[in-house]
Structure 1
């Protein structure tokens, strides 16, 4: 027990605590896709998809933190929650319309999860990473989403109350078993989200 109370080493990189919105997107059925395609084709497809998603989220003002295989983690400020929701909605169509996937005879679908809360951000291995419950919750919501769906935690409501959020029951989220309600962001929200000024970079 005493060892747990030792001071942290001075060599730890500086961290920044902030309220943030975390967005996680993941490709549905990536393992089956990897088994079905030649490795070179699978790698080219994943590279194309990840590059497009990174550029897409950055165009909406997000900061891409990391990607793990076919998953992308992105950070937005609370004021950018409408932009995060809009980028998640449009990411589904971007993936579905990927030209290389069409050439390979594949139809790609994403899942997405969003959560708002306190996180610590800082450099890890030369890249900016985020730590905190919103990161874990966004991942769990992403996993719980249906193909083509975006699930948001209740904490997004103060920042997106005017948007089209449909309440949906959730259960069995590892580490968040007490969470019973999330919000599905319907495609009908796109027009309302687009009406929010100053959310997307144009140049």
Structure 2
């Protein structure tokens, strides 16, 4: 099936503790055997064995049609189904897959399967250039050091990975959207709790995050998901965390709160992107 503008793209999430690679391969093949009758195209899947979850990427005219394929083929209904922004298709389809539709871990040549999509997060110190010019390089470095310490502690504390500095911020990647949001909240809480001193003035941070399957190369990440996370960071208000609606939906039932859905027009994306602001309570 070729994607058309009228066919949504979904990511469904199954809770399958104890399932093995052969079980998932057979389930995916069963989906493919009946999907054409429902106008559905199950593209590939990720298996996070540690968490006992499977993520399936699917073209379907509706959520109901995609679920009917699962019900008819093997009876396993997803616990969640998230509509993915069409502009992120390439991000989700990046990387390879094996002959059975299982996503492979990018950057490997051993056929190791990819456990899940990634959540990419960017931080940005608000007004850092102006503060450096006004207060001097020593103060700017003290400010940057405080930011880096807070971000690194939060990222590693929530099973994330710091990828690189971006001048006045940091890029990090998480396997869990929930952990990405928790880390972002922790960063904002820690920055807001810093006491101003002579060496370093008070400062604010903006944070943006998006989920997808970015391309990994040479210890860095590239692609639409990365670009979107950076755009969301630039769009976020000082002291806030702005995420895609997909990240918010992946946090359902986990105690996180988000603002009402809004659409944002972002540079480099043809269609408005659905966003949610995190209600920071942590």
Whether these two folds match at TM > 0.5 is yes
Tell me, yes or no, if structure 1 residue 174 matches structure 2 residue 272: no
Specify the SS of the correspondent of 2:152: helix
- Matched with 1:184 is 277
Which of the two has greater helix per residue?
Answer: 1
Specify the SS of the correspondent of 1:146: coil
1:36-78 CA deviation, whole Å, 9 max, x = no partner? Answer: 112122123212321331122111110010112211111001x
Question: Offset at 1:153?
Answer: 0.6
1:10-42 CA deviation, whole Å, 9 max, x = no partner? Answer: xxxx72676211011111111111111121221
Specify the SS of the correspondent of 1:173: coil
After superposition, residues 43-192 of structure 1 pair within 5 angstroms as: 43-77=141-175, 80-99=176-195, 101-104=196-199, 106-123=201-218, 128-162=219-253, 163-188=256-281, 190=282
Specify the SS of the correspondent of 2:266: coil
Q: Give the whole-Å Cα distance in 2 for the aligned partners of 1:36 and 1:45.
A: 13
Do the aligned residues in 1 keep the contact of 2:124 with 2:169 (CA within 8 Å)? yes
**Which structure has the higher relative contact order (CA within 8 Å, separation 6+)?**
1
After superposition, residues 3-14 of structure 1 pair within 5 angstroms as: none
- Matched with 2:107 is 15
Higher mean C-alpha displacement, 31-40 vs 129-138:
31-40
Specify the SS of the correspondent of 1:167: coil
Specify the SS of the correspondent of 1:102: coil
State TM-score, norm by structure 1: 0.75
The number of residues matched between the two structures is 169
Question: Offset at 1:96?
Answer: 2.6
Do the aligned residues in 1 keep the contact of 2:154 with 2:184 (CA within 8 Å)? no
Question: Offset at 1:134?
Answer: 0.9
Do the aligned residues in 2 keep the contact of 1:117 with 1:155 (CA within 8 Å)? no
Q: Cα RMSD over matched residues?
A: 2.0
Q: Structure 1 unaligned segments of length 5 or more: list them.
A: 1-13, 191-203
